[in-house]
């Protein structure tokens, strides 16, 4: 797009002011991991905890956002890239609004997570790798997706027919097959202090 | 997209809880009007006022959002439709986060504003028509865009080479060539009570 005719509009009420009003630092906690690894369960429990602490949060979820903003996108690699790009910009806008974001997405490609980090801003971005082994995720198979993927009924399924590039140096790593939910929440909380 | 493999995820911390925490109703104030009509000036001033009242707000602006989320979109009719669709979903997500949104966009097509209203939800959506006449907008020409449009240097310019479909029954109408900034802000505020 030709941006020559756009002027960046600086508003008087800014992120800093909004963070002050809410008494918090607006960050994005980005949960990455396989389907069934427990990302949303941990994110939900963490959000409850933050809420009890008086923090103001918003949870973005892969499944949820695809019904709305990204309902025009499928699961090809190009669409997954665009999916993450848009989500990262929404995280940024929510952070600009002073809100702490919990973003729970498979986000299998390291390059996309890196791009998300750049969009959101390095200091605001925390990468949480939910490292539950695929055997355990497949055993749980909460949504029956692994079964379908193994049967070839779902194409581009991360961990089966599409790769998952594990984070090499996440800010936090949690394996929900080894830690309790409370321990997982605590590890993320500690990383924020 | 095939949504058969998605499960709508219901989180424990919801919009109602977030609204309660912030002590406000999360609505979207949608400013529509020609370039130069004064949308962003009024939205800025209103946001300042709401901020003083302890309300928690976010301002979305046509120019701003096009640098980020919608940087892949141009100004063709199809892209303008997609531009407004995405923005409406961001408004909805911010409202779900409990935040009052001030959305300032030319949004020239009635059908797009209607779609935005449907996405955001009728009870949360307030349409504010900044009805400043085009002669006044062109006289101001803050960004020099009308001059360029008249010279044929900008295609698809609303009011010159593209239509602007004025709202038939906006919730509020304000003409910044007839009302002071304070009066404009007051009219919108009154509509919220």
Distance (Å) from the alpha carbon of A99 to chain B's nearest alpha carbon: 8
Tens digits of residue pLDDT in B26-66 = 999 999 999 999 999 999 999 999 999 999 999 999 767 98
Tens digits of residue pLDDT in B105-156 = 999 999 999 999 999 999 999 999 999 999 999 999 989 999 999 999 998 8
Element (H, E) at A186: helix A181-192
Would you state the pLDDT for residue B193? 67
Tens digits of residue pLDDT in A90-100 = 999 999 999 99
Would you state the pLDDT for residue B75? 80
Rounded to an integer, the average pLDDT of B3-30 is: 79
Cβ–Cβ gap A48/B12 under 8 Å: yes
pLDDT of B160 higher than 60: yes
Cβ–Cβ gap A67/B12 under 8 Å: no
Would you state the pLDDT for residue B117? 98
Question: How many C-beta atoms lie closer than 10 Å to residue B98's C-beta?
Answer: 26
Element (H, E) at B161: none
Give the confidence band of A193 by pLDDT, cuts at 50, 70, 90. Answer: low
Give the closest of B56, B61, B66 to A21, CB-based: B56
**What token pair was written down for B185?**
């802000």
pLDDT of A5 higher than 60: no
Cβ–Cβ gap B64/A9 under 8 Å: yes
Of all residues in chain A, the percent with pLDDT exceeding 90 is 83
pLDDT of A133 higher than 80: yes
> How far is residue A41's CA from residue A39's CA, in Å, rounded to a whole number?
6
Q: Which residues pair with B104 in a beta bridge?
A: B31, B61
pLDDT of A83 higher than 70: yes
* A3 class by beta-carbon count within 10 Å (0-12 exposed, 13-18 middle, 19+ buried): exposed
Cβ–Cβ gap B97/A3 under 8 Å: no
**Nearest CA to A146 among A31, A58, A22, A35?**
A35
Would you state the pLDDT for residue A155? 87
Would you state the pLDDT for residue B13? 85
Distance (Å) from the alpha carbon of B107 to chain A's nearest alpha carbon: 16
* pLDDT-wise least confident of A10-19, A75-84, A161-170, B105-114: A10-19
Question: How many C-beta atoms lie closer than 10 Å to residue A104's C-beta?
Answer: 31
Strand B57-61 with A100-104, pairing: unpaired
pLDDT of B5 higher than 60: no
Give ipTM to 2 decimals. Answer: 0.91
Would you state the pLDDT for residue B3? 41
Tens digits of residue pLDDT in B79-106 = 989 999 999 999 999 999 999 999 999 9
Q: What is the torsional sign of CA B84, B86, B90, B93?
A: positive
pLDDT of A1 higher than 80: no
Strand A125-130 with A28-32, pairing: parallel
Please list the active-site residues of A.
Answer: 107
Beta-carbon contacts below 8 Å between A and B:
139
Q: What is the pTM of this model?
A: 0.92
Would you state the pLDDT for residue B2? 38
């Amino acid at each position: 797009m030709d941006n020559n005719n756009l002027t960046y509009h600086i508003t008087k009420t800014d992120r800093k002011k909004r963070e002050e009003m809410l008494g918090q630092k607006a960050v994005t906690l980005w949960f990455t991991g396989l389907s069934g690894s427990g990302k949303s369960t941990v994110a939900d429990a963490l959000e409850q905890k933050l809420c009890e602490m008086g923090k103001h949060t918003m949870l973005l979820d892969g499944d949820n956002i695809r019904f709305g903003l990204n309902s025009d996108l499928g699961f090809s690699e190009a669409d997954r890239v665009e999916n993450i790009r848009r989500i990262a910009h929404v995280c940024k806008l929510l952070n600009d609004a002073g809100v702490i974001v919990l973003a729970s997405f498979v986000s299998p490609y390291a390059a996309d997570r890196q791009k998300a980090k750049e969009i959101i801003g390095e200091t605001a971005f925390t990468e949480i790798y939910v490292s539950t082994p695929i055997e355990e995720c497949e055993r749980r198979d909460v949504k029956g997706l692994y079964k379908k993927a193994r049967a070839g009924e779902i194409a581009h399924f991360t961990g089966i027919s599409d790769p998952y590039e594990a984070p090499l140096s996440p800010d936090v790593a949690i394996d929900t097959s080894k830690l309790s939910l409370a321990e997982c929440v605590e590890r993320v909380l500690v990383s924020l202090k």
